[in-house]
Structure 1
């Protein structure tokens, strides 16, 4: 009796990543992206139902990228699974109100706790788990690995190497977890310089970097 033999694909994550990068290249995106095109970039490389990490803690926030994500078209991007340590900015909640994201894993909500609770009551958001910092960052490498991470750093050089400044606690871990599992790394920086004081994250781990307009 003939039997259908299924071929297992072992490079689905890599193939998916490459398809996204090829599409971005077709649209004229280079590694350095103008801030005026950031929404277009996000709508190109983020797919609906992707797991997306927004970097943020008590010291720094990827605020420009977070606000840009909240301004994306929910008909293009929807049902994202957000994984981040703190829900601190209005834009962190806006993505759920607009239907861009539907699920979240996080550590604490801080000033956005009331809006978060209201959205839970309205069934506009599903909470995976509320984690300790150590648990959340550990699971970035296991079962909560981002498909795309939106990161902040102090500066980048022309090749895309990153200098994180005084605060380095979160950035390398998030980027490493994402980049080493065929995810896409997008970084906002305060400035682009010719020479960095030191390299905290190598350019090989960075797909796109953008100088924030503020």
Structure 2
């Protein structure tokens, strides 16, 4: 019996086909700030699993605002995956039909709106996870087609420096890059030389300089002198809740 022909590079070829759609918009790995919405419309397909970085360190705020601006006729029914739902546009994209399903870990200030949208049927709930469970599933059954993340700096080759706010960025990028997903990164600054390379440019497909630095509302900090009394209180309440 003749064995069927199998294409072991099908995912890689599909990724190449998507990237070809924006070849005229790229300068190396870079796209102009004002063209990011057009890039998203060409790279993100209906029904895609999309990871949007949003955590207790930093938010890919420029990319989340840009995602809200895409044409819902072109980009719709997305399965959004994110650890923290914390910005209004994270939910606006569901009301506009751009996204329909979500897997997440934490909602915080948006929790009431999330609950109402699920009850109204505007948002379909996958699961609510612990952070580690969510990150683990990115490599198993929630493998993303596209990820939208933030970094401090990038060089001309797309190598990334994440600064003090690394958090989940490497994990999200690895989950996509190692499975032929598309990695789109917003950066605060483009430089000739990085302090260090946290993520190699080979893992990155598109880099865009954001119109303003990413949103930073750190619950935790690596510099003890920057810890505020409010952050200490929040940490104590979280620990109390766990043990209660």
1:122 deviates by 1.4
Report the aligned-residue RMSD.
1.5
**Which residues of structure 1 form unaligned runs of 5+?**
none
TM-score (norm 1): 0.95
Deviates more, 1:59-68 or 1:3-12: 3-12
Q: Hey, what's the Cα distance between the residues in 2 that align with 1:184 and 1:70?
A: 19
Of 155, 160, 180, 1:157 maps to: 155
Q: Which residue is 2:95 aligned to?
A: 97
1:10 deviates by 3.0
Q: Which residue is 1:183 aligned to?
A: 181
Runs of 4+ in 1 over 6 A off after TM superposition: none
Q: Which residue is 1:71 aligned to?
A: 69
What pairs with 1:109-120 in structure 2 (closer than 5 Å)?
A: 109-120=107-118
1:111 deviates by 1.1
Q: Which residue is 2:50 aligned to?
A: 52
For 1:209, what is the secondary structure of its paired residue?
Answer: strand
Q: Hey, what's the Cα distance between the residues in 1 that align with 2:95 and 2:143?
A: 24
For 2:187, what is the secondary structure of its paired residue?
Answer: strand
Aligned residue-pair number: 211
Q: Which residue is 1:28 aligned to?
A: 25
For 1:174, what is the secondary structure of its paired residue?
Answer: helix
TM-score (norm 2): 0.83
1:86 deviates by 0.5
Q: Which residue is 1:130 aligned to?
A: 128
**Which residues of structure 2 form unaligned runs of 5+?**
213-244
1:6 deviates by 5.6
Q: Hey, what's the Cα distance between the residues in 1 that align with 2:112 and 2:67?
A: 21
Contact kept, 8 Å, 2:57 with 2:167, in 1: the verdict is no
For 1:182, what is the secondary structure of its paired residue?
Answer: coil
For 2:86, what is the secondary structure of its paired residue?
Answer: coil
Q: Which residue is 2:221 aligned to?
A: none
**Higher radius of gyration, 1 or 2:** 2
Q: Hey, what's the Cα distance between the residues in 1 that align with 2:111 and 2:148?
A: 22
Of 165, 169, 172, 1:167 maps to: 165
Contact kept, 8 Å, 2:44 with 2:146, in 1: the verdict is yes
For 2:103, what is the secondary structure of its paired residue?
Answer: strand
For 2:25, what is the secondary structure of its paired residue?
Answer: coil
Q: Hey, what's the Cα distance between the residues in 2 that align with 1:67 and 1:169?
A: 21
Q: Hey, what's the Cα distance between the residues in 1 that align with 2:195 and 2:3?
A: 55
For 1:41, what is the secondary structure of its paired residue?
Answer: helix
